[in-house]
Chains A and B, each alone.
Chain A
């Protein structure tokens, strides 16, 4: 099963819509609750990062019998030092974004913790791609 969604940068009124749409799909197809909850949390953080830090993004969700794979690709400023960005507390969020309660610098580590595999590639000045994979346990359901 493949699903594609778009994310608009800067639009906090719709941030989280992709994550909640995907959550509903995973519930409908009876994916193990714990794994789907983790991947949806990781997706939410990734979605909010596109809204907060990039200009636009595309999310591809690919579900097969073994895994849920999510790719979030954005057009944006990119991340020049990924290792630094991964550190808890590091954030370049603007004051307006911080006022809404974003910018703790914890999103990427939440994504790491809630996925079985995570890979970030980025070209500064062009954009960032985050890949997330959670494996579906065969004994679930």
Chain B
């Protein structure tokens, strides 16, 4: 499934990094600990987090993640937005919380 389909289905807002939103998604990863994401997220995953600072984009880019979803309507820092446009990492946003968005993403990615 492509990021664009997920954006539509989960009603996500695209904040930045638009250039890569047609990329393919391999799965999801949920964590607010950056080293945990570095150790365990897989290439092409969508990462769901409450973190909003620029290291989120740095980690997503190092791990070749598909996109980041920031939950609870939290606003990414301005340097996060800037970096995501440079690194081509889509930063997406939802008003809902981690539990609900992860549940909906799981359902969507595992639907036959």
Contact = CB atoms under 8 A, between A and B. Distances in A.
Contacts of A105: 35
Contacts, number: 63
B39 A110 contact: yes
A77 interface: no
Judged by DSSP, the binding face of A is helix
A40 B64 CA distance: 12
A76 interface: no
Interface in B9-36: 32-36
Given A12-B55, A110-B39, A104 B62 contact: no
Given A13-B79, A41-B63, A102 B54 contact: no
B36 A104 contact: yes
A1 interface: no
A54 interface: no
Judged by DSSP, the binding face of B is helix
Contact of A37 (B39, B49, B62): B62
B102 to A, nearest CB: 17
26 contacts: A12-B53, A13-B54, A13-B79, A15-B55, A16-B58, A16-B59, A20-B58, A20-B61, A23-B62, A40-B62, A44-B58, A45-B38, A100-B34, A100-B53, A100-B55, A101-B32, A101-B49, A101-B55, A102-B33, A102-B34, A103-B33, A104-B35, A106-B35, A107-B38, A109-B39, A110-B38
Given A13-B54, A20-B58, A101-B33, 6 more contacts: A12-B55, A15-B55, A101-B34, A102-B34, A107-B38, A109-B39
Instruction: Give me the 5 closest cross-chain CB pairs, A-B, nearest first.
Output: A16-B58, A106-B35, A104-B33, A104-B35, A101-B34
Interface of B: 32-36, 38-39, 49, 51, 53-56, 58-59, 61-64, 79, 87
